Structure 1
Amino acid sequence: MAEFERYLRFERDLSPHTVRAYLSDIRGLLDHLRGRIEALDIATLRAWLAGQHAEGKARATLARRTACARTFTAYCHRRGWLAADPGLLLGSAKAVRPLPAVLDQEQAQAVLERPPNAAEPKDLRDQAILELLYATGVRVSELCALDVDDVDRDRHVVRVLGKGRKERSVPFGLPALRALDAWCVNGRPLWVGPRSGAALFLGVRGGRIDQGTVRRLVHSRIAQVDGVPDMGPHGLRHTAATHLLEGGADLRSVQELLGHESLNTTQIYTHVSIDRLRAAYRQAHPRA
């Protein structure tokens, strides 16, 4: 397990979250094998996955564990711990990827409206986070990892380190710039401490903000607006992508902004509103 963890971290360069998930999955597989790695064959793998399916595990979970098992068996085969790689024979149904809820533009405006007299550091920070999430569509992990120097105020661009340590620049607008300036000038200096470093967004104790805090604040702000579907930072990411498409952005540009390696991911991740579909139909179809 220790050697497999080093392989995932340093050779595959997977994110800490993915490494934790893979290690948890493999511990479950080894428990199923009762520690006997030599018993790992295609029948055992299928039985392990079938048992989880019978327990009601989601398709997405089963798909991830299948991919994890393939990675593990290939690694064991290369190390000489298995005579053959049983993962090559392991099939997997494609995970269902339902579209998350998305805000329309009026709902997004209501969520982003700044509460009156909100001048406390926490309010300034939360407003800047919400504006930046919606303006850029960055992942919550990417937002938490931002440093002060990653924001180029003159060019209205934020430098983001995404999956696979791939860097990209994402533009943002004036509302996000104003919110960031308010936080950096009137909020962040009041919370800066020995643990702050260069982190752009801080927690109340002065350390870099964590993903759980960001998720809670997004859910809390959205709950304050009547009629708005509950969602977290991923919902704002999806909303940003959808509004870009509705505004006329091409799919390739949205792919670059979101940091997707494949255009297929962007096609699944975004959807076009029914109003835009109707407008395109009326414009294009001869008998509309």
Structure 2
Amino acid sequence: MQTHLERFIRFLAAEKGLSTAYQLSVRQTLEEFARFLETEDTGLAQAGIDTLSAFLRHLQDRGIDRSSMRVEMVHLRIFFRWLAGTGILEKDPSAFLEMPRQGLSLPHVLDQKTVSNLLESIDVQDIPLGCRDRALLEMIYACGMRVSEIINCKLESFDKDEAFVRVLGKGDKTRLVPIGRSALDALQMYLEKGRPKLVRTGTKNHIFLTVRGRPLTRERVRQILR
């Protein structure tokens, strides 16, 4: 696994342009996973969803909190998606792993059913604003992203093929965030049908735009949610 790990880290640096700190964080996760595979006497090619679930339980047993576990599983999903994409593995077992949610960026009193009702209440056939708002809230909820991160996302940050978005967070730290199927579908619909109708002369390359073609603000996102 070490050879693949080194190739992957070079991929993050050269092709994704991710920071040294992020590379180190990913390396630490993958090295810990490699040690786990050794204790389980399992090779990388044999690692399936059961192995990943066992690793998650291993992290829980060590007392790692949900937020930290999510970060480690994001690193693994990026790694396995790369392994499958380069043909090293035939399939990506992490695609079927349900990751622990980081927590809702919407008011915490809303439970999952309420949030689902909120998302479903948005008319995605309302082009462009309905499909924009659905994509916006799907991304906030499913990806665990801060509002400031969402409104600053740009087109070049979105990798459609790999279903990831590059996020610049606190302390100017860059990370890759996987996009779930529902959020990905909503985002693609918005980019194909909604955003082109919002673009104006001088519009920048931010993903989410106002009716005047400007980047959304934090206050506007709060208004949309209300």
Using structure 1 for the length normalisation, give the TM-score.
Answer: 0.40
Structure 2 CA distance, aligned partners of 1:167 and 1:116? Answer: 33
2:130 maps to which residue? 123
2:155 is equivalent to residue 151 of structure 1: no
Q: Deviations over 1:125-165 (max 9, x none)?
A: 10110100001111111111000111112221111000111
Question: What's the CA shift for 1:190?
Answer: 0.9
Match for 1:153: what amino acid?
K
Of the three residues 201, 205, 213, the one matched with 1:198 is 205
Alignment of 1:48-59 (within 5 A): none
SS at match of 2:210: coil
Q: Deviations over 1:90-137 (max 9, x none)?
A: xxxxxxxxxx63322211211111545633201111011010000111
Answer whether contact 1:114 1:127 (CA < 8 A) is retained: no
1:103 maps to which residue? 110
Alignment of 1:31-50 (within 5 A): none
Answer whether contact 1:142 1:162 (CA < 8 A) is retained: yes
Q: Deviations over 1:31-80 (max 9, x none)?
A: xxxxxxxxxxxxxxxxxxxxxxxxxxxxxxxxxxxxxxxxxxxxxxxxxx
Answer whether contact 2:123 2:131 (CA < 8 A) is retained: no
SS at match of 1:158: strand
2:181 is equivalent to residue 178 of structure 1: no
Q: How many residues align?
A: 120
Higher Rg of the two aligned structures: 1
Matched residues, percent identical? 41
Structure 2 CA distance, aligned partners of 1:150 and 1:102? Answer: 31
Answer whether contact 2:124 2:131 (CA < 8 A) is retained: no
CA RMSD across the alignment: 1.5
CA distance 1:116–1:136, shift in 2 (3 Å)? closer
CA distance 1:114–1:162, shift in 2 (3 Å)? same
Q: Deviations over 1:164-210 (max 9, x none)?
A: 11101111211111111111111111111123221101011011111
Match for 1:182: what amino acid?
M
2:172 maps to which residue? 165
Using structure 2 for the length normalisation, give the TM-score.
Answer: 0.50
2:215 is equivalent to residue 208 of structure 1: yes
